[in-house]
Amino acid sequence: MENISKVKIGIVAVSRDCFPASLSNNRRKALIDAYTKKYNAEDIYECPICIIESETDMVKALEDIKAHGCNALCVYLGNFGPEISETLLAKHFDGPKMFCAAAEESQNDLIDGRGDAYCGMLNASYNLALRNVKAYIPDYPVGDAEDCADMIHEFVPVARTLISLSELKIISFGPRPMNFLACNAPIKQLYNLGVEIEENSELDLFEAYHKHDGDKRIEEVAADMAKELGAGVNNNSAMLPKLAQYEITLLDWIEAHKGYRKNVCIAGKCWPAFQTQFHFVPCFVNSRLAGRGIPVSCEVDIYGALSEYIGTCITEDAVTLLDINNSVPKDMFKESIEGKFPYKHTDTFMGFHCGNTCSGKLCNPHLDFQRIMARNLPREFTDGTIEGDIKPGDITFYRLQSTSDNILRSYVAEGEVLPVATRSFGSIGVFAIPEMGRFYRHVLLEKNFPHHGAVMFGHYGKTLYRVLQQLGLSNEEIGFNQAADQRYPGENPFNK
């Protein structure tokens, strides 16, 4: 997966001077050994400098991990630890940081071998707050070498996402389509997150597309598209050169405009003038780029593109953006869902978009036309969607959004795509999320979220929630689907 920053975590052990430094050093070595046996050794770097009480040690350790290309930090309390120098290290390190601590190892070694890091974590957290340093602390941050190795591994996707966002530029083309104000939002929060944005006219894109007329690469890209589609290309092979030209245009634009940023995602214009001028729709190209780690949101949805990109960083996999679109008909529910799956009718809905989902996430993907647009336009102008039912399996439905008054909010809900034929068109699936009906009413509607939601293919709520916390969202600003016995703040207490 391209377009995602790589993570290298510097592991720095700390030791209070009234404890044996060997305790922290030996525990650090055991931690490194446990991690490299179980996970990718390239994720981490063992700093040989153990910070004791000296701020000079802190500077040396900081210089060492920087020199070895570390862009994330793990402060490891091998014993109680020096609260000043260890938190100064976190303060002066420019990147995601975490703290974890060593558990005691044996009932037979609680005199000279006792480290008291359980206590030291309390002082570390207090000092982090004093210095206004935001650090990742695992749910239970004290453990043996194997436990702490697992904690660091869980930190990897969080760190990868935060680093990738700090190196991200969102490129947009055109304003939102008329009567689609829902996904408009202030861009100030992008800058607060450290994300750059470049806004362009769709005329700029149209001009760039025609500058690629006759590009020698078109034939090769069109052949790759045909290979991806296989039998799904059907009678639409004449469309592929146009779509290939558009894909080349976007990729060249990214290279020419990313500037000092390493990562890019796109918020693209796809209607109403797109089809009449380009004579196709861009959905299949959007799906292909998403499959490579370059999300392209529909309808110039800037925060939708950002949400997709966050999911891509967490999963290192394709993510899609769908309308929270339509209810499941009662006859379909009774025939295909009721009694077969543990869901109520109101737990289900259909997630849909015209045809932007990566072909690898679809059953029987095929190139087709956009039926909604074709109601008012020549059919051939609307060719270019990638259609198919979304593959069954676990999903995480989520979005990060700035409100109209510039407050960051998010929602996260885990569920699944059911193995139920949709009998419809586009990239579409029958989704089931426990207590979706109440979540829809008391989070999506009450908190004014737009109709676009991003989808990760798997259950990643735990990691995403941690990412959102590290981005500065409070628990009140992160909505989730409450269990049946939990009430939302605004929910009527007399509901049965």
pLDDT in tens, 140-189: 999 999 999 999 999 999 999 999 999 999 999 987 777 666 677 889 99
Query: Given this model, what pLDDT does residue 412 score?
Result: 98
Per-residue confidence (pLDDT) for residue 125, from 0 to 100: 96
pTM recorded for the entire structure: 0.95
What integer pLDDT is reported at residue 180 of this predicted model? 67
- The CATH number that domain 9-161 falls under is 3.40.50.10940
| Residue 285 near residue 255 (C-beta atoms within 8 A) | no
> Given strand 296-297, what is the order of strands in its sheet?
196-200, 168-173, 263-267, 296-297
What was the pLDDT predicted at 182? Answer: 65
What would the pLDDT profile of 306-352 be if each residue is shown by its tens digit?
999 999 999 999 999 999 999 999 999 999 999 999 999 999 999 99
Please report, for the chain, the start and end positions of each structural domain, with discontinuous segments joined by +: 9-161, 167-480
Q: What is the pLDDT of residue 181?
A: 66
The pLDDT value given to residue 67? 97
- 386 Cβ neighbours under 8 A, 6+ residues apart: 283, 284, 287, 355, 356, 357, 359, 362, 365, 366, 367, 368, 427
pLDDT of the residue at 275? 86
Burial of 392 (0-12, 13-18, 19+ CB in 10 A): middle
| pLDDT score of 374 | 67
Cα angle, residue 270 at apex, residues 210 and 360 outer, rounded to 5°: 100
Per-residue pLDDT at 186: 87
In the chain (496 residues long), the average pLDDT of successive 10-residue segments reads: 94 87 91 96 94 86 96 95 93 97 87 85 96 96 97 98 98 80 82 95 94 96 94 81 97 96 93 86 95 93 96 97 96 97 98 93 91 79 91 98 92 98 96 97 94 97 98 95 90 82
So what's the pLDDT on residue 55?
Answer: 86
Instruction: Identify the pLDDT of residue 345.
Output: 98
Which two structure tokens, joined as six digits, stand for 370? 């956009």
